[in-house]
């Protein structure tokens, strides 16, 4: 399959502080691609830039051959980017705590006008994440961290995206829960044919899950290779794998 996401020389600044500098990378349709790096490297900033939440100083971002982000407000707004088929699961999940599981999923389908299709997708999410089906009428604040993360992913999938952006899906969760979530990510990719771009602090798990990976340091891409090669890379091992 061809390229679905192209990031071409983008830079992002917060005032006088440069968060990303001349970042270029590609994601091919059907792949899982990982982005690893230390805290503060600019990983979340990059995901926000893709969906139009951080303005570009320079460069451009294209999705499925269409330019969606350019400097000086010449790109698409975040809602229009979402309508093109990109969904972001942000770091920290950002669920609607006082809404039920079902109401949160409804929020994920805000672009869908066909109510029967919304109901069908909700049932698919309950089948895929059975705990959500069992708790569909519960307030989201009553869910565990792992259950909330599953719900955040399910909410993103309600829009039936072509590209799923995941920002630290394993953050703060028990290892067994993280393994379960990553097994779901593989199924989403392989069976649902959703391309996945993954930011994850657990570099070993991220690279094992991904076909290709990038390393971001101080706002710059310093390495890129297939996941297995990065796992064997001495620089990656010393910096991120504790080797």
Cα(131)–Cα(164) distance, rounded to whole angstroms? 21
Cα(217)–Cα(219) distance, rounded to whole angstroms? 5
Going along the chain from its start, the domains and CATH numbers come out as 1-85+195-243 (3.40.50.300)
pLDDT at residue 60, as a whole number: 97
pLDDT at residue 48, as a whole number: 95
Cα(196)–Cα(33) distance, rounded to whole angstroms? 6
pLDDT tens by residue, 122-151: 999 999 999 999 999 999 999 999 999 999
User: pTM of this prediction?
Assistant: 0.94
Q: Extract the residue ranges of the chain whose pLDDT is less than 50.
A: none
Structure tokens at 215: 């390393």
DSSP 92: T
pLDDT tens by residue, 84-109: 999 999 987 678 889 999 999 999 99
pLDDT at residue 243, as a whole number: 55
Listed residue (205, 196, 233, 215) closest to 33, CA to CA:
196
pLDDT at residue 51, as a whole number: 96
CB-based contacts of 139, cutoff 8 Å, min separation 6? 97, 98, 99, 100
Structure tokens at 80: 């229009």
Q: Return the percent helix, strand and coil in the chain, to nearest 5.
A: 40, 30, 35
Helices assigned H by DSSP within the chain: 43-50, 78-84, 101-108, 115-128, 130-134, 145-157, 175-190, 203-209, 227-232, 234-240
Token match 């590209």: residue? 163
| Cα-Cα end-to-end distance for the chain | 35
């Amino acid at each position: 399959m061809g390229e679905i996401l192209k990031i071409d020389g983008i830079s992002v600044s917060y005032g006088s502080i440069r968060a990303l500098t001349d970042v270029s990378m590609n994601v091919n349709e059907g792949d899982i691609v990982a982005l690893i790096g230390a805290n503060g490297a600019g990983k979340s900033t990059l995901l926000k830039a893709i969906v139009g939440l951080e303005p570009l100083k320079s460069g451009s971002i294209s999705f499925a051959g269409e330019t969606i982000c350019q400097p000086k407000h010449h790109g698409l707004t975040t809602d229009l980017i979402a309508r093109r088929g990109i969904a972001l699961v942000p770091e920290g999940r950002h669920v609607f705590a006082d809404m039920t599981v079902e109401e949160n999923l409804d929020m994920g389908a805000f672009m869908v006008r066909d109510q029967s299709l919304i109901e069908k997708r909700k049932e698919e999410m309950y089948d895929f994440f059975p705990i959500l089906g069992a708790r569909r009428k519960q307030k989201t604040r009553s869910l565990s961290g792992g259950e909330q993360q599953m719900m955040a992913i399910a909410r993103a999938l309600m829009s039936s995206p072509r590209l799923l952006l995941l920002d630290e899906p394993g953050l703060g969760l028990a290892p067994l829960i993280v393994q379960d979530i990553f097994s779901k990510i593989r199924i989403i990719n392989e069976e649902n044919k959703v391309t996945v771009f993954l930011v994850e602090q657990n570099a070993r798990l991220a690279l094992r899950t991904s076909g290709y990976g990038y390393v971001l340091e101080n706002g710059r891409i310093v390495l890129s290779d297939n996941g297995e090669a990065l796992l064997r890379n001495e620089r990656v091992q010393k910096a991120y794998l504790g080797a």
